[in-house]
Chains A and B, each alone.
Chain A
Amino acid sequence: MGEIQHLMNIFINAAFAQNFVFIRFLALCSFVGMTTSMSNAVGMGGAVTFVTVMASVISYAVFQFILIPLHLGYLQTIAFILTIAVFVQLVEIYLKKVVPSLYRAMGIYLPLIATNCMILAIALLNVTEGFNLLEATVFSFGASIGYVLALVVLAGIRERLNYAKIPSIFKGYPLIFFIAAFIAVAFMGLQGIAR
């Protein structure tokens, strides 16, 4: 199996077969909270993709060049969450000063991202799966694409259901979970496509 094929496999696995939202149950808070409209979903998806890929590379470096030489591997959880929080804070400050227009579009999502469990999960999975830097980058990018896909699909369905007649007890969250259940069934069907 060639190198490219191997990377494609990691990508498809992260994005579809092991989708982070529907199969692995990560980042559900923002999945439920940020899909009220398509613009919210796209904005959050873009912000998360950027932060996830960068944070995964940085936490990879922190693990390889700080924690391993100092034999502090057991501190990885604290080290990663602090790295991610600091990185998100830096991005926020940088955008505010340098690209204010992008800050206005992305700014409201940034504080939410620091506690998005998907980003920490990817940093931790990179270590447990023993990925090298390239594999880790591809993995985190694939995971973010899967996340954006999940958000956009749900937001699209929710926008169309705004005016539908729904029994009052199913309004709101129950309906979201039922929709998620059916989309998850569809994603289960993709299990076989990556080895």
Chain B
Amino acid sequence: MKNLLEIFKKGVFKENPVLILMLGLCSVLAVSTSVVNAAGMTLAFSFVLIGSEVTISLMRNFIPKTLRVPIFIVVIGSFTTIMSLLLQAFLPDLNKALGIFIPLVVVNCIIIGRIEAFASKKSLSESIFDALGMGFGYGIVIISIGAIRELLGSGTILGYPVFGSNYKAALFFILPPGAFLVIGIEIAILNKVLSVSKRKREI
């Protein structure tokens, strides 16, 4: 159990897929214009990640080595299609807001990277915790960026005004340049935190 928690924690901090491994950046920057969009993207992404990691982990002894990448792609593509059809049916507004980034989950490097490096070698329970940890790590980053951009760019959180009606929204943060700036600052803060904790350990 301790081992499983360790796997989960690794996805959130030490091997955070976005801030440390620099994967899956496209969707993180593009849909983080508001908290709702960011949370929706996290759900869609985690659904595909968990589904494909579980499937590949169960099939790992039957997949021939030479054919593994096409098989991975078909599995991820199937889950992406299922997720996209579910969104179209039950959450059409969210589907519209996320747009092209819903089908693009299939080429999200985090998913194929975790399958290649983890799920195709490890047991079912370990793969589930890895998928949960990675999904959670992705979610924290995208939702925090979404919160900062929504707060500064439109003065609201989840649609509720925070600064009152006199606040002049800094449109910059909703537009594409704001996304680059916010993620740059987040990585810099994480670098600072990691270097401080490393120095403490050395002392």
Contacts and interface: CB of A to CB of B under 8 A. Distances in A.
Given A32-B25, A77-B80, A120 B180 contact: no
Tell me what chain B mostly uses at the interface: helix, strand, loop, or mixed: helix
Interface in B98-120: 100, 103-104, 106-109, 112
A161 interface: no
A181 interface: yes
Interface string A126-152: 001000000000000000000000000
A180 B81 CA distance: 32
A181 B184 contact: yes
B29 to A, nearest CB: 5
B104 A121 contact: yes
A116 B80 CA distance: 17
Contacts of A81: 73, 77, 106-107
Interface in B179-203: 179-181, 183-185, 187-189, 191-192, 195
Contact of A177 (B74, B77, B78, B180): B180
Interface stretch (A49-57, A61-69, A166-174): A166-174
B46 to A, nearest CB: 18
Contacts of B103: 76-77, 120, 124
Interface in A152-177: 168-177
Interface residues of A, number: 44
A29 B104 CA distance: 13
B30 interface: yes
A117 interface: yes
Tell me what chain A mostly uses at the interface: helix, strand, loop, or mixed: helix
Contact of B184 (A117, A175, A187): A175
B21 to A, nearest CB: 10
A22 B29 CA distance: 10
B159 interface: no
Nearest to B111: A115
A99 interface: no
A78 B52 CA distance: 14
Interface in B79-109: 80-81, 84-85, 100, 103-104, 106-109
A68 to B, nearest CB: 17
Interface in B1-60: 22-23, 25-27, 29-30
Given A74-B85, A177-B184, 16 more contacts: A25-B25, A28-B25, A33-B22, A74-B81, A77-B81, A78-B77, A81-B106, A81-B107, A116-B107, A120-B106, A120-B107, A124-B104, A125-B100, A173-B184, A177-B187, A184-B177
